[in-house]
Structure 1
Amino acid sequence: MNRNNFKQVLLLMAMAFLLTFTTEAQMQPAKRIAPKVIKGVSLNATNDQVWDFVSQPKAFYEAIEEVQNLSCPNISDGAKLSFTLPADKNRKQEVSYFNKQEQAITYYITKSDYYHQPWVFQLLVGKDGDSAYVQFQGIFSIDDKKLEKKMIALVESEWLLLKKALEIKFK
C-alpha cells in the first residue's frame, strides 16, 4: 500500500470513529407527555371567529376579567406575556407553538406560582357540529401525587377563567 492510500484509509477510519461518537452525543428527542387536564367548550361561532380571538394573546387575555397587570406585545407568534391572576401573582409565559392552519396555539409557562417548573397548555380550535369547539390541554409532569392533584385543580381553575372569557365573547 502506498503512502497516499494509507493516508486515505487512516482518514476514513478517523472519520468513522468521530461520526460514531457524534451520533451518540446527540440529544434524544423529547418524550411526549400526555395532558393531565383536558377540557373543552362549544361556542356559538365559527372556527375562524374563535381562532381570530384566541390567536391574539393580548386581546384574549385582556378579555379575562381576573387578569391584571398584563404586559404583552400585540403579536401572536413568539409573544411573551406577563400578568397576575388571583392564584398566580407572577405569571410569565410565551407562545411556543402557533399554527394558523391547525388552529393551535401552545403557551409555555416559564414562571408560575402554581408550580415551580415550566409547564404547558394548548388551545385547539375545531368544529362541533355547527359550532366551534375549543379544547384546552394542560401538560405537566409531577411525580408527587399530592402535588399533582393540587396542580390539576389549579390548572382546571385557570381553564374556567379562559372558558368564561370565551363564553362571554361568543354568547
Structure 2
Amino acid sequence: MTQQSPETLDFLRRRRSRPAKTLSPPVPGLDEVRDLLAIAARTPDHGKLEPWRFLVLERPALERLAASVAPHGHMVGIEEEKIARMERQFTEAHLAVVVVASPKPSDKIPDVEQLLSAGAACYGLLIAALAAGWGANWLTGWAMHDRGFVEGALGLTERESVAGIVHIGTETAAPPERPRPDLDALVTWVEA
C-alpha cells in the first residue's frame, strides 16, 4: 500500500469550485502559475503523448477576447444573452488558463483517451489552485466550442479544442454547499 494522505482525502471531500465572477485580484504570480501548471501536467497520459497545452490569459489577453466575443457572436447568430455572458466571463476575469486538447497522431492511443487526459489536466489545475489557497473555477461557454472563434482568437489548430478554462484568483465570497450526486443511483456493483 502506498503512503496515505488523510489531509488530501479530507480536502477532496470538501472541494468546492468558486464561481468565476467572485474571483478578484490578487492572482498568482508567474512562478506560482508555473508551479500550478507543473502539477496539472502530471495528469494521467497514456502513451506519454502530452495531448494538451496551456494558454495563460493575463488581463490584456482577457480584454482582447472580451472585445472579440460580440462581433463574432453576432456574425454566427448567437443569442444576445449568451454573447453578454461570454463577454462577462472575460471582462470579469483577472487570470485564466485555457487547457487546449491537442491530440497527437497515434495508432495506439485513440483521440478520446487523449481528450480525457486534457480533461484530467483541467481538473488537476483546478485542484492545485484550490489546494494552494486560490479560488478557482473550470468553465467553457459557446465561444470555446466555436471553431472560428478558437482558431482566430486563441490560435488553435484544426485538430485542437478547448477542454476548459480554469479561472484563478482571490475568493471574495464563500460558495454555498450544493447537492452532491446520489451514489446509490449511479453505482452498480458487479460481482461476477
Fold in common (TM above 0.5)? no
Indicate the structure whose relative CO is greater, using CA pairs within 8 Å and at least 6 residues apart: 2
Higher helix share: 2
TM-score if structure 2 supplies the norm length?
0.27
Higher strand share: 1
TM-score if structure 1 supplies the norm length?
0.30
